[in-house]
């Protein structure tokens, strides 16, 4: 059934591709031969890098989608127009480490602003079904429109808008892809529907019609997502009443590892001095990074037994990482036997109860961290699951397509979770707590309520 829909869907996308005028649409169109060469490079990058495309993708459906995309590229198209065709492969890859996109989506968004273009000025939450609910202004300020559901944007049904955008978003599951779109809605909207100076909105609940100006570089509401957060925005320790501490870690990819290590050492010193007996670690917005940032930064204070970050792997031998005796292009499977020892004599080791709060933004190395904490009993996993696979891919290799300069990212290995269990397929918290995009702190409050209830006589 999925295959029968693909040609019609691509035809609709192609109409978008050739019919819109975007900032990048003025770029010189690429000829069909150039697109064929880009597509060949894209396919070679996948074949030479991914150890097991069937881990996440239905390879038969993917092959047919490639054929449909190749037919859609048989006319002159700008890089943006071509991306609108090729990006329809992203949901079929079904892995956030495997996608076709731009070299730097934040830089692309800034380039639109620098060129005098405007972006959709409101941040929205996106559900799996595609409903769009306003949460705040794009720059981060509160808005009285928060909680209102969009019915139309510039006369186009909101469901049609979200469907066109979600059809190009990368990620493991529809739930995960909805989360990515919520983070980057203004960017995707600009790349698919253009950059008008204003937006005529119709709200469904409560019903209202209004016009809002686009967010522009000349205004005072520069989109917050175009800038990388500073350290204090990404890491924080908050001491709460009743000897509870909340440690928020929004990334494991901070460029200054030593600062991360120092932050955690200071955090656990403060936890010790405050006599904390319940620790909440919030990684709901942690998209991953480098495993050593949690192995060296967090686990020295929490591990109570030897542990490993995964139990097995499948990897493709690529030249960059080829070792003596290995054959380029071979797929190798193996077990991870090495265990990392705990530090029982660490004076800052935390002996209380630990909870790790996950959500649909928890990904990559953050999933590996959650796996370790759950599989070895170092913490209770709480929050919402069903978004990311527990068997994560990694070792992402990026290839720039020669003509369009679009980038294909492909993982070179797949890891099995530490327990070796194949189920559940997706992250499954021990304690389910729903997300609330309008009140992110609500998940913490609900977890605290559970803790108090469990502790009551």
Q: Examine residue 194 and state whether it is found in any structural domain, yes or no.
A: yes
pLDDT in tens, 141-166: 899 999 999 999 999 999 999 999 99
Q: What is the pLDDT of residue 226?
A: 73
What are the distances in angstroms from CA 48 to CA 42, 172, 213, 313, 315?
A: 10, 21, 46, 17, 11
DSSP summary character for residue 447: H
Q: Examine residue 61 and state whether it is found in any structural domain, yes or no.
A: no
Question: What's the half-sphere exposure (Cβ side, CA atoms, 13 Å) at 208?
Answer: 11
In a shared domain, residues 177 and 116 = yes
Query: What is the C-alpha separation between 316 and 23, in angstroms, rounded?
Result: 39
In a shared domain, residues 123 and 255 = no
Domain boundary among 166, 200, 226: 226
User: Which ranges constitute the DSSP H helices of 95-173?
Assistant: 105-114, 158-166
In a shared domain, residues 158 and 262 = no
Any idea what the Cα angle at residue 185 is, between residues 209 and 236, rounded to 5°? 115
In a shared domain, residues 279 and 156 = no
Q: Examine residue 33 and state whether it is found in any structural domain, yes or no.
A: no
In a shared domain, residues 110 and 193 = yes
In a shared domain, residues 207 and 351 = no
pLDDT in tens, 14-62: 434 433 433 343 589 999 999 999 999 999 999 999 999 999 999 999 9
In a shared domain, residues 215 and 235 = no
User: Which ranges constitute the DSSP H helices of 73-173?
Assistant: 79-86, 90-93, 105-114, 158-166
Domain boundary among 192, 226, 260: 226
pLDDT in tens, 104-128: 999 999 999 989 899 999 999 999 9
Domain boundary among 226, 251, 277: 226
Q: Examine residue 189 and state whether it is found in any structural domain, yes or no.
A: yes
Residue 307 phi, psi dihedral angles, 5° rounding: -145, 165
In a shared domain, residues 292 and 195 = no
In a shared domain, residues 189 and 255 = no
Domain count of the chain? 2
CATH number of the structural domain spanning residue 204: 2.30.42.10
Three-state DSSP at 270 gives helix
The reported pTM is: 0.92
Query: What is the C-alpha separation between 355 and 68, in angstroms, rounded?
Result: 46
Q: Examine residue 335 and state whether it is found in any structural domain, yes or no.
A: no
Question: What's the half-sphere exposure (Cβ side, CA atoms, 13 Å) at 223?
Answer: 29
Which range has the worst mean pLDDT, 63-72, 221-230, 273-282?
A: 221-230
DSSP summary character for residue 253: -
Q: Single out the residue of 442, 427, 445 nearest to residue 384, CA to CA.
A: 427
Query: What is the C-alpha separation between 104 and 226, in angstroms, rounded?
Result: 10
Q: Examine residue 50 and state whether it is found in any structural domain, yes or no.
A: no
pLDDT band at 173 (very low <50, low <70, confident <90, very high): very high
Bridge partners for 401 per DSSP: none
Residue 357's domain comprises 231-307+342-388+426-455
pLDDT band at 239 (very low <50, low <70, confident <90, very high): very high
Question: What's the half-sphere exposure (Cβ side, CA atoms, 13 Å) at 224?
Answer: 13
Query: What is the C-alpha separation between 435 and 444, in angstroms, rounded?
Result: 10
Question: What's the half-sphere exposure (Cβ side, CA atoms, 13 Å) at 206?
Answer: 3
CATH number of the structural domain spanning residue 298: 3.90.226.10
For residues 418, 53, 11, 187, the Cα torsion angle rounded to the nearest 10 degrees is 40
Q: What is the pLDDT of residue 312?
A: 98
Whether 408 and 42 have beta carbons less than 8 Å apart is answered as: yes
For residues 406, 412, 417, 418, the Cα torsion angle rounded to the nearest 10 degrees is -130
Q: What is the mean pLDDT of residues 368-395?
A: 98
Q: Examine residue 138 and state whether it is found in any structural domain, yes or no.
A: yes
Residue 441's H or E segment, with its range, is helix 441-455
Q: Examine residue 266 and state whether it is found in any structural domain, yes or no.
A: yes
In a shared domain, residues 114 and 252 = no
In a shared domain, residues 216 and 249 = no
In a shared domain, residues 199 and 168 = yes
What are the distances in angstroms from CA 358 to CA 276, 286, 304, 442?
A: 21, 9, 21, 13
Query: What is the C-alpha separation between 440 and 433, in angstroms, rounded?
Result: 12
> In a 10 Å sphere around its CB, with 0-12 CB exposed, 13-18 middle and 19+ buried, how is residue 106 labelled?
middle
Query: What is the C-alpha separation between 292 and 95, in angstroms, rounded?
Result: 23
pLDDT band at 219 (very low <50, low <70, confident <90, very high): low
For residues 224, 188, 394, 318, the Cα torsion angle rounded to the nearest 10 degrees is -120
Q: What is the mean pLDDT of residues 5-14?
A: 39
pLDDT in tens, 71-109: 999 999 999 999 999 999 999 999 999 999 999 999 999
């Amino acid at each position: 059934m999925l295959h029968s829909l693909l040609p019609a869907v691509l035809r609709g996308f192609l109409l978008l591709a050739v019919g819109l005028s975007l900032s990048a649409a003025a770029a010189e169109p690429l000829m069909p031969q150039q697109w064929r060469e880009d597509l060949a490079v894209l396919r070679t990058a996948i074949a030479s890098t991914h150890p097991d495309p069937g881990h996440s993708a239905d390879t038969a459906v993917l092959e047919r989608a490639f054929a449909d995309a190749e037919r859609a590229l048989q006319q002159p198209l700008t890089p943006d127009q071509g991306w609108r065709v090729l990006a329809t492969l992203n949901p079929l890859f079904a892995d956030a480490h495997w996608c076709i996109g731009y070299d730097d989506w934040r830089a692309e968004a800034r380039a639109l602003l620098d060129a005098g273009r405007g972006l959709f000025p409101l941040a929205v939450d996106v559900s799996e079904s595609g409903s769009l609910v306003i949460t705040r202004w794009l720059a981060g300020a509160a808005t009285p429109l928060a909680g209102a559901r969009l019915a139309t944007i510039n006369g186009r049904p909101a469901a049609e808008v979200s469907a066109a955008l979600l059809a190009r978003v990368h990620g493991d599951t529809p739930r995960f892809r909805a989360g990515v779109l919520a983070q980057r809605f203004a960017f995707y909207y600009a790349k698919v529907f253009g950059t008008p100076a204003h937006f005529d909105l119709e709200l469904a609940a409560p019903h209202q019609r209004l016009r809002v100006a686009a967010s522009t570089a000349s205004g005072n509401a520069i989109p917050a997502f175009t800038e990388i957060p500073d350290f204090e925005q990404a890491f924080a320790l908050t001491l709460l009443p009743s000897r509870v501490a909340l440690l928020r870690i929004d990334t494991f990819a901070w460029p200054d590892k030593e600062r991360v290590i120092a932050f955690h050492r200071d955090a656990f010193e403060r936890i010790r001095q405050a006599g904390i007996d319940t620790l909440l670690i919030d990684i709901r917005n942690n998209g991953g990074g480098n495993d050593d940032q949690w192995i060296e930064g967090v686990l020295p204070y929490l591990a109570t037994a030897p542990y490993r970050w995964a139990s097995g792997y499948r990897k493709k031998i690529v030249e960059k990482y080829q070792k003596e005796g290995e054959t380029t292009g071979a797929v190798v499977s193996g077990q991870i036997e090495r265990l990392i020892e705990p530090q029982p004599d660490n004076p800052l080791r935390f002996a209380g109860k630990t909870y790790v709060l996950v959500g649909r933004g928890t990904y990559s190395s953050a999933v590996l961290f959650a796996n370790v904490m759950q599989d070895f009993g170092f913490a209770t996993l709480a929050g919402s699951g069903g978004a990311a696979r527990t068997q994560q891919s990694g070792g992402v290799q990026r290839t720039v397509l020669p003509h369009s300069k679009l980038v294909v990212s492909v993982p070179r290995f797949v890891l099995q979770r530490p327990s070796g269990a194949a189920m559940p397929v997706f992250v499954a918290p021990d304690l389910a707590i729903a997300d609330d995009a309008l009140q992110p702190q609500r998940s913490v409050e609900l977890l605290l309520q559970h803790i108090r209830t469990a502790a009551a006589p």
